[in-house]
Amino acid sequence: MIEVKSLTRRFGPFTAVDRLTFSVGEGEVLGFLGPNGAGKSTTMKMLTGFLEPSSGTATILGHDIRNDRLAAQREIGYLPEGAPLYGEMTVLQFLEFIAEVRGFHGPERGAKVAAAMGRLQLDDVAGQTIETLSKGYKRRVGLAQAILHDPRVLILDEPTDGLDPNQKHEVRRLIGEMAAGRIIIISTHILEEVHAVCTRAMIIAAGRLVADDTPDGLARLSRYYGALTFQVAAPQQVASDLASLAAAGAVEVSGSEVTVFPKDGGGDLLSAVQQRIAERGWQVSGLRLENGRLDEVFRVITRKAAGHPEPIKEAA
Amino acid sequence: MATIMTLLRRELGAYFMTPVAWVFIVIFLMLSSGMTFFFGGFYERGIADLEPFFRFLPWLYLFLVPAIAMRLWAEERKSGTIELLLTLPITPAEAVVAKYLAAWVFIGIALALTFPLWITVAVLGDPDNGAILTAYLGSWLLAGSYLAIGSCLSALTRNQVVAFILAVVVCFSILLIGVPTVVEALHGLLPSAFADGIAALSLLARFDAFSRGVIDFRDLAYFVLVIVFWLIANRIVIELRKAG
């Protein structure tokens, strides 16, 4: 269990993290979402004991990060933003160093290093100097040092940033594998990632917690949730026709695409629209029921927090 | 303690994995022996001691030790590895001590490699070996003092050039207040007791005692205090400015 209580960090007059309070339990993969500069990294730096909170605190499995920092740090595996590493060392030397600092010596050290290298497929580059490795490999070395001691808490700051799609997939698979029995916190600004790996998502804007839900729950906040989108030859005409339906709220046109939003208490939008299409004989393609757009929720919520309350008109 | 040893080994290893160690050792040996023979008049003096070698050492170290010290923390800041280091279960004090000791041992290795000079005087004459050993100890302590100053100043910035210049200026000032002409000038400007007080803070006077082969407990305590003081300051700087 990680419990965060009124965690605050100020840099001079600027408040980077503002009274953040939440808790995360075992088995959860929590995604921190937020625009750049929202305070995601600062929060992670405080949880891992790198930065002192200005006020408030957090406990990692019962260890307070202010009074019992080393005990908290022993429980945590951390990948800092950009995965900084000692470039002049070889992969093997570096991981052996991390293992020793984590208190593993002799055969135990060898076993831990071998397991971490195996898990991240680093055996082929074990003898290479870290600074000569590609970005993807460096990130894997960073992840290997984070999971080396089999930590119960994993904190990963933008673990897939700058990786190619295959590498991203690999990292997400690894996070999924590690999730059972652990607490994982990742930060990201890639929204698809939240759906792919997180069981819970928190949106942070201007240092404050502005939304906290499952990824699906957040998507449900989208005005697109339950809307119908399809393509048709004469969209303007179709749109004005559909607006007369009892189940339909607003209708928007973008290019050849028509989006019909449901009206509250208007009944079953899908069957009403399908019936109208059949009656009029329109040639419709790509009809889909929207699950809600996380990127739209993200924009509306973070804009609101930044003091632009009006919803942003969606350009699909 | 085990943590400090692990960190120390990594740091010391890092010197030899990069050209830093080899360049430093070669330059140090060339300059120190060059000064001994050309400016010190090693042969011409006809005295079997290493005074010409130790006389120039404080001035040589003035530039070479800050060159080692500048990277200690500035580089960790620049590359971001300071975040990796300080989120491992390591206290800042352990990190400061381990990095310092690694650099100090490294400088000690370079100093020890000047042993052919000692062999030369031992072959040519009958030197006071105890005095030479004492002078070596003094040299290492002097380098350690410069290094503690440089390490602390390196923690202030992520720019190694800034760290180097700051360290040279501070070390130079502390050295200078012991130079006789400066001491005289101070006596002209300040009350006598005050001027003496300032001159007593100089590294140079303490080092001179060692280089003459005299170990005074007060000189030893002085070096230890300087090192401890600057390392504590170093730890405070790290605590206050971890990020940035």
Q: Name the least confident of A26-30, A37-41, B36-40, B83-87.
A: B36-40
pLDDT of res. B87: 95
């007080």: which residue's tokens?
Answer: B197
Whether the pLDDT of residue A53 is over 60: the answer is yes
Tell me the percentage of chain B whose pLDDT exceeds 90: 62
| Bridge partner list, A77 | A154
| Interchain CB distance below 8 Å, A145 and B84 | yes
Nearest to A84 among B17, B81, B243 (CB): B81
ipTM: 0.89
Which residues of chain B neighbour A51 with C-beta distances below 8 Å?
A: 242-243
Average pLDDT of span B122-146: 93
Which residues of chain B neighbour A89 with C-beta distances below 8 Å?
A: 10, 13-14, 17
Which residues of chain A neighbour B83 with C-beta distances below 8 Å?
A: 45, 50, 80, 84
Average pLDDT of span B47-66: 90
Which residues of chain B neighbour A66 with C-beta distances below 8 Å?
A: none
Is the alpha carbon torsion for B194, B198, B199, B201 positive or negative?
A: positive
Helix axes A165-178, A135-147, angle to 10 degrees: 10
Average pLDDT of span A8-30: 93
Tell me the percentage of chain A whose pLDDT exceeds 70: 97
| Interchain CB distance below 8 Å, A97 and B10 | yes
Average pLDDT of span A160-186: 89
User: How are strands ordered across the β-sheet holding A248-254?
Assistant: A248-254, A257-262, A228-231, A285-289
Give the best-scoring range by mean pLDDT among A2-16, B173-187, B201-215: A2-16
Contact residues of B toward A, CB < 8 A: 2-3, 6-7, 10, 13-14, 17-18, 79-81, 83-84, 86-91, 242-243
Nearest to B90 among A76, A88, A101 (CB): A101
Give the separation between CA A295 and CA A299, rounded to whole angstroms.
6
Chain A residue closest in CA terms to B95: A101
Give the separation between CA B12 and CA B30, rounded to whole angstroms.
22
* A244 or A111, higher pLDDT: A111
Whether the pLDDT of residue A311 is over 60: the answer is no
Which residues of chain B neighbour A76 with C-beta distances below 8 Å?
A: 87
Whether the pLDDT of residue B244 is over 60: the answer is no
Chain A residue closest in CA terms to B79: A84
pLDDT of res. B42: 78
Q: Any idea what DSSP says for residue A262? A: E
Average pLDDT of span B79-108: 96
**C-alpha distance from B63 to closest chain A C-alpha (Å):** 25
Angle, vertex CA B137, rays to CA B134 and CA B143, nearest 5: 145
* B10 or A289, higher pLDDT: B10
- Give the three-state DSSP class for B208: helix
> pLDDT tens for residues B156-178?
999 999 999 999 999 999 888 88
pLDDT of res. A225: 86
Whether the pLDDT of residue A313 is over 60: the answer is no
Q: What is the b/e burial string over B71-110, where b = at least 16 CB atoms within 10 angstroms of the residue's CB?
A: bbbbbbbebbbbbbbbbbbbbbebbbbbbbbbbbebbbeb
Average pLDDT of span B127-155: 95
| Interchain CB distance below 8 Å, B86 and A50 | yes
| Interchain CB distance below 8 Å, B243 and A45 | yes
Q: How confident is the model at residue A247 (pLDDT cuts 50, 70, 90)?
A: confident
Which residues of chain B neighbour A73 with C-beta distances below 8 Å?
A: 87-89
Give Cα separations from B195 to A80, B111, B174, B175, B177 (angstroms). 51, 33, 14, 15, 9
Cβ contacts below 8 Å, chain A against chain B, sum to 64
**C-alpha distance from A85 to closest chain B C-alpha (Å):** 6
Give Cα separations from B134 to A38, B45, B128 (angstroms). 58, 21, 10
pLDDT of res. B49: 81
Which residues of chain A neighbour B3 with C-beta distances below 8 Å?
A: 101
Chain B residue closest in CA terms to A47: B87
pLDDT of res. A309: 54
Give the separation between CA A270 and CA A248, rounded to whole angstroms.
10
Give Cα separations from B191 to A202, A296, B179, B182, B186 (angstroms). 67, 75, 18, 14, 8
The per-residue DSSP string of A265-310 comes to T---HHHHHHHHHHHHT---EEEEE----HHHHHHHHHHHHTT--S
Average pLDDT of span B83-104: 96
Q: Can you read off the two tokens belonging to residue A294?
A: 């996380």
Terminal C-alpha separation, chain B: 29
Q: How confident is the model at residue A83 (pLDDT cuts 50, 70, 90)?
A: very high
> pLDDT tens for residues B54-63?
988 999 999 9
Give the separation between CA B112 and CA B95, rounded to whole angstroms.
26
pLDDT of res. B243: 63
| Interchain CB distance below 8 Å, A88 and B83 | no
Whether the pLDDT of residue A177 is over 70: the answer is yes
Give the separation between CA B179 and CA A98, rounded to whole angstroms.
47
pLDDT of res. A48: 96
pLDDT of res. A312: 45
| Interchain CB distance below 8 Å, A89 and B14 | yes
Chain B residue closest in CA terms to A100: B6
Give the separation between CA A104 and CA A201, rounded to whole angstroms.
35
Q: How confident is the model at residue A314 (pLDDT cuts 50, 70, 90)?
A: very low
Whether the pLDDT of residue B81 is over 90: the answer is yes
Which residues of chain B neighbour A81 with C-beta distances below 8 Å?
A: 80
What is the pTM assigned to this prediction?
Answer: 0.88
Q: Any idea what DSSP says for residue B35? A: I
Q: What value does the mean pLDDT of chain A take?
A: 89
Give the separation between CA A251 and CA A244, rounded to whole angstroms.
10
Give φ, ψ of A202 to 5 degrees: -120, 130
Average pLDDT of span A264-292: 85
Tell me the percentage of chain B whose pLDDT exceeds 70: 99
**C-alpha distance from A44 to closest chain B C-alpha (Å):** 11
Average pLDDT of span A204-224: 88
Average pLDDT of span B210-214: 87
Average pLDDT of span A168-173: 89
